[in-house]
Amino acid sequence: MKTFCGRANPTTGSMEWLEEAEDYDYHQEIARSRYADMLHDKDRNVKYYQGIRAAVSRVKERGEKAIVLDIGTGTGLLSMMAASAGADFCYAIEVFKPMANVAVKIVEKNGFSDKIKIINKHSTEVTVGPDGDMECRANILVTELFDTELIGEGALPTYEHAHKYLVQEGCEAVPHRATVYVQLVESKRMWSWNKLFPIHVEAEDGEKIIVPPSEMENCPGVPSVCDIQLNQMPSRDFTTLSDVMTMFSVDFSKPVQSASTCYRVQLEPVKSGKAQIVLSWWDIDMDPTGMINCTMAPYWVKPTSALQWRDHWMQCVYFLPNEEPVLQGEKVYLTACRDEYSVWYKLQKAREEENKADVCVESPVCRCHAHLLWNRPRFGELNDQNRTHQYIKSLRKVLNTDSVCLCISDGSLLPVLVHCLGAKQVQCFILVFRSLQCSLAFFSANHLEDKIKVLEARPELLKPSHFEDKKISVLVGEPFFSTSLLPWHNLYFWYARTAVTSHLSSNVTVLPQSASLHMMIVEFQDLWRIRSPCGICEGFDVQTMDDMIKDSLNFRESKEAEPHPLWEYPCKSLSDPQEVLTFDFRKTVPQHCLSTEGSVNLLRKGRSHGAVLWMEYHLDADTSVSTGLMQISNEKGNCEWNPHCKQAVYFFSSVIESETLSDPGAVTYAIKFDTKTGEIAMDFKL
Ligand code: SAH
């Protein structure tokens, strides 16, 4: 037996369905899936139900039997809605086997087994005919195959195939249509996620400027979508240069073409400025009249009272290949190009209008290597002047003309900083992991190609000859590694430091000298929904789904923390932040485990949804950099998080509610860092 599992291809960004042996550990996939979030999305569910009822009625009014095709049925929800609305029969297709199994159970529990047939296949494998999966073609097509970018989960090829082989001509589709909207903006904050800004360094011998390689200037970047909770982006962080424009629509009731194409709109900027970013979102009309509309429009476009929080559909940030000055009232053309799975944008001045051949650009391919190495938050982090300043301040204290420096971090600018700060004699070695080409381009843009020696070896394989038989006097790291998912994965620095111990001088300075793990109990405004059981959804019992998620969460003996960029997910602190573990980089990684136990008092009333954990790096005795909490901004406990990093969130299996301040309670914890596996296990009791 085989199980199908969906994966995003890291190179193309497209969705792949891979066959895995049945013992494949799909629990992780279920535990972290977005099904719960979708089931909590009231606005979506209500509108789907309305749209489905209307479609069934239209078919019935024509005197036809209502035969539904539900592609990607998940829990079976939309098919159950159709059956309740009077559909005669539903074919519910689900490619992910564990989900298809759950759908069978849910459909049975809700009493629809005679009306709904669950088919565990990819829709393109489904057959129609007397001996086929479906007896006949359907006349109602219901799907929910959309991601934040609309088409990223393969909706277009799926629709294209369904219209050719699985549904009748003139079928009703729910949703009936999707429309993609765009707005042109200038935003230093968002632009800093895509380009590296010059870095100004105050050195002993005057100010120096570190510049990015010129290839980065016009580099179109990578096609993977940048999806964020745009509603958390304060209006002071961007300037809108255009009105909201309709970019393109797709009518799902007619044959759909998935082949690459372009759409173009004329814009008249409402303001002069630098066009850098295209913000984009979509809406879906559940019926042909457009009366049942479900929109992802951000807060400045629609009244906040109408905002439905959801994490499975957000908004997109697209970066133009280069920034383009625009003048108020002076028309420009914005082109959206798409292939089967992704969308990208290009802006053209009116005078280039004739040049249509040039318009349908190819999918962006990063030429400067930086976009392959650094993701968007990492660009933001490298552009964070405050952070850079902390490193400069600290490096300045330790570097001198005799320094022999080794830098251990992925795609780091530290060696360049070291060089700017130190006198010419500084010997600088950099251990590169995945960042060779990008690092080299960077060094050469700053005329340092022969000043910094790149070592392409695993730390444990380094020999004295790699360091020209010198001992390292300064070992630096940010630390940052692109393979890190959870905050403590960057402790790889400690392991690499341990592996190079024999090359360090006896009085070596290690920067950062240590790290600490911090923890705080929080109440989330919304994020709790993604891991919270749903029970009944629009009158249908979906508890079997909740149980499956719970099983998957319990599957590993220890529950795991998961990474989330908390600047996008407001929460308030219920306890003081607490330092729970420290890691001394001046020493090697110990053989024994590091563990701690204790309790934190809850100081505010609220619902304890979970614990947030993050790392702080202590560059020296008085300089620290936090990758988590920046500050608690008011007496209500609202938290401000480092906007460039993901924090670890450990959701409690049950929520405690402290109503009164007199007895707010406490949370006890046990946290263990296994130095053998590098894993952190944790347990909390409320
Ligand atoms: N319809 C459900 C679930 C939507 S999630 C709801 O609205 O609540 C989308 C589901 O579609 C996922 O379970 C995914 O596994 C499945 N899927 C995506 N593309 C598919 C395809 N072409 N054929 C079959 N299943 C597909």
pLDDT in the model for residue 302: 82
Q: Is the pLDDT of residue 399 over 60?
A: yes
Q: Are residues 577 and 451 in the same domain?
A: no
Cα(596) to centroid of ligand 1, in Å? 43
Tally of domains within the chain: 5
Of 176, 206, 239, the last residue of a domain is 176
At residue 359, the pLDDT reads 54
Q: Express each pLDDT in 136-166 by its tens digit.
A: 999 999 999 999 999 999 999 999 999 999 9
Could you tell me if 574 and 458 lie in one domain? no
Residue span of the structural domain in which 445 resides = 376-511
- Please check whether residues 496 and 520 belong to one and the same domain: no
Nearest to 347 by CA among 366, 319, 371: 319
Residue 249 domain-assigned? Answer: yes
User: For the segment 307-326, what is each residue's pLDDT rounded down to a tens digit?
Assistant: 899 999 999 999 999 999 99
Show the tokens assigned to 343.
């969308």
Q: Is residue 543 part of a domain?
A: no
The verdict on whether 354 is a catalytic residue reads: no
15 and 52 belong to one structural domain = no
Task: State which of 313, 346, 365 marks the end of a domain.
Answer: 365
Looking at the fold, whether 43 and 107 belong to one and the same domain comes out as: yes
Interval 568-603: pLDDT, tens: 999 999 999 999 999 999 999 999 999 999 999 999
The more confidently predicted of residues 337 and 665 is 337
Which of 150-154, 243-247, 423-427 shows the lowest per-residue confidence on average (mean pLDDT)?
A: 423-427
Q: CATH no. for residue 503?
A: 3.40.50.150
Q: Domain check: are 27 and 47 in the same one?
A: no
Residue 313: which region, alpha, beta or left (left: phi > 0; alpha: psi -120 to 50)? beta
Tell me whether residue 317 is in a domain: yes
224 and 343: one domain? yes
From 312, 330, 365, give the residue that closes a domain. 365
Q: Known catalytic residue: 538?
A: no
Answer yes or no: is 328 within a domain.
Answer: yes
- Contact predicate 320/336, CB 8 Å: no
Which of 16, 94, 121 for a ligand 1 pocket mutation test, highest count of atoms within 8 Å of Cβ?
A: 94
Instruction: Assess if residue 531 is contained within a domain.
Output: no
Residues linked to residue 612 through DSSP beta bridges, in sequence order: 520, 649
Tens of pLDDT along 460-517? Answer: 889 999 999 999 999 999 999 888 889 999 999 999 999 999 999 999 999 999 999 9
Same-domain check for residues 224 and 335? yes
Categorize the per-residue pLDDT at 218 as very low, low, confident or very high, splitting at 50, 70 and 90.
confident
- Residue of minimum CA distance from atom 5 in ligand 1: 74
Q: Report if residue 352 sits inside a domain.
A: yes
* Shared-domain flag, residues 496 and 383: yes
Position 25 scores a pLDDT of 61
Give the CA distances from residue 78 to residues 51, 219, 331, in Å, rounded to whole numbers and listed in that order: 10, 43, 44
Provide the residue type at 25 as one letter: D
The verdict on 248 and 357 lying in the same domain is yes
* pLDDT category of residue 432 using cuts at 50, 70 and 90: confident
Which residues form the pocket of ligand 1, taking CB atoms under 6 Å from any ligand atom? Answer: 38, 71-75, 77-78, 93-96, 99, 122-123, 144-145, 154, 158
Tell whether the model's pLDDT for residue 64 goes beyond 60: yes
**Residue 388 predicted with pLDDT over 50:** yes
Q: What is the pLDDT of residues 619-646, one digit of tens each?
A: 999 999 999 999 999 999 999 999 999 9
Is 541 within the bounds of a domain?
no
- Estimate the crossing angle of helix 97-109 against helix 77-84, to 10 degrees: 30
| Same domain, residue pair 63 and 98 | yes
Same domain, 23 and 87: no
Residue 586: what pLDDT? 97
Which two structure tokens, joined as six digits, stand for 160? 């294209």
Nearest CA, atom 20, ligand 1: 72
Q: Is the peptide bond before 213 cis (omega within 30 degrees of 0)?
A: no
CA 94 to ligand 1 centroid distance, Å: 6
Distance separating alpha carbons of residues 577 and 594, to the nearest angstrom = 20
Instruction: Check whether 352 has a pLDDT greater than 90.
Output: no
pLDDT beyond 70 at 10: no
- The verdict on residue 335 lying in a domain is yes
Q: Give the CATH number of the domain where residue 669 resides.
A: 2.70.160.11
Ligand 1: centre distance to CA 31 (Å) = 16
